[in-house]
Amino acid sequence: MTNPTASVATPDQPAPTPGRGIRRIRVPQKLRNVELFLVIFVCAVNALAVVLVQFGALGYADGTVVTLGAGLSILVFGMHIALRFVATNADPFILPIAALLNGIGIAMIYRIDIAENLTGWESTAVRQVVWSGIAIALAIVVVVVIRNHRVLQRYTYLAMLIAAILLLLPMLPVIGQEIYGARVWIHVGAFSFQPGEVAKIALAVFFAGYLVSRRDSLSMVGTKVLGMRFPRARDLGPILLLWAMSMAIIIFQRDLGTALLYFGLFVVMIYVATGRASWVVLGVGLFLAGAVIAGQVLVYVNDRFTNWLDAFNPEIYDATGGSYQLVQGLFGLANGGLIGTGLGEGRPDITPLAQSDYIIASLGEELGLAGLFAILALYLLFISRGLRISFAGQDDFGRLLGVGLSFTVALQCFIVIGGVTRVIPLTGLTTPFLAAGGSSLVANWIIVALLLRLSDTVRNQPRLVI
Partner 1 sequence: MSELTLLILQLAFLALLWVFIFIVVYTMRSDLFGQRVRKLKDAAAGPAPASGPAMAGAAAAGAAAGAARPAGAAAAGAPTTPPPGTPKVPTFIPAPGTELSGPPRASTANAGRLVITSGPKSGTDIPLGTEPLTIGRSTDSSVVIRDDYTSTHHARLMVWGEEWVIQDLDSTNGTFLDGQRVTAPVHVPLNTPIRIGATTFELRR
Binding site residues, partner 1, CB under 8 A: 1-5, 18-23, 34, 38, 41-42, 45, 48-49, 52, 55-56, 59, 92-93, 96-97, 100, 339-340, 342-343, 345, 367-368, 370-371, 374-375, 377-378, 381, 385, 388, 392, 394-395, 458-459, 461-466
Q: What are phi and psi of 189, to 5 degrees?
A: 65, -130
Task: Write down the least CB distance from residue 389 to partner 1, Å.
Answer: 9
Q: Which is nearer to partner 1, 183 or 214 (CB)?
A: 214
Task: Write down the least CB distance from residue 185 to partner 1, Å.
Answer: 33
Task: Write down the least CB distance from residue 462 to partner 1, Å.
Answer: 6
Give dist(CA 299, CA 280) in Å, integer: 28
Task: Write down the least CB distance from residue 366 to partner 1, Å.
Answer: 9
Give dist(CA 418, CA 306) in Å, integer: 16
Q: Is 209 helix (H, G, I), strand (E, B) or coil?
A: helix
Residues 6 or more apart in contact with residue 288 via CB below 8 angstroms: none
Answer whether 340's CB lies under 8 Å from 370's CB: yes
Q: Is 31 helix (H, G, I), strand (E, B) or coil?
A: helix
Task: Write down the least CB distance from residue 18 to partner 1, Å.
Answer: 6
Name residue 224's beta-bridge partners: 229
Answer whether 401's CB lies under 8 Å from 447's CB: no
Q: What are phi and psi of 325, to 5 degrees?
A: -60, -50
Give dist(CA 363, CA 367) in Å, integer: 6
Give dist(CA 423, CA 437) in Å, integer: 24
Q: Which is nearer to partner 1, 90 or 186 (CB)?
A: 90
Task: Write down the least CB distance from residue 77 to partner 1, Å.
Answer: 17
Q: Which is nearer to partner 1, 35 or 255 (CB)?
A: 35
Task: Write down the least CB distance from residue 368 to partner 1, Å.
Answer: 8
Q: Which is nearer to partner 1, 327 or 375 (CB)?
A: 375
Which residue in 296, 302, 184, 157 sits closest to 248, CA to CA? Answer: 184
Q: Which is nearer to partner 1, 15 or 225 (CB)?
A: 15
CA atoms within 13 A on the CB side of 437: 26
Task: Write down the least CB distance from residue 336 to partner 1, Å.
Answer: 12
Q: Which is nearer to partner 1, 255 or 366 (CB)?
A: 366
Task: Write down the least CB distance from residue 98 to partner 1, Å.
Answer: 12
Q: Which is nearer to partner 1, 4 or 78 (CB)?
A: 4
Q: Which is nearer to partner 1, 4 or 418 (CB)?
A: 4
CA distances from 199 to 159, 161, 262, 404, 447 (A): 9, 10, 9, 13, 12
Give the helix ranges, DSSP H, for 338-460.
359-392, 396-420, 438-459
Q: What are phi and psi of 179, to 5 degrees?
A: -125, 130
Give dist(CA 76, CA 449) in Å, integer: 12
Q: Which is nearer to partner 1, 6 or 277 (CB)?
A: 6
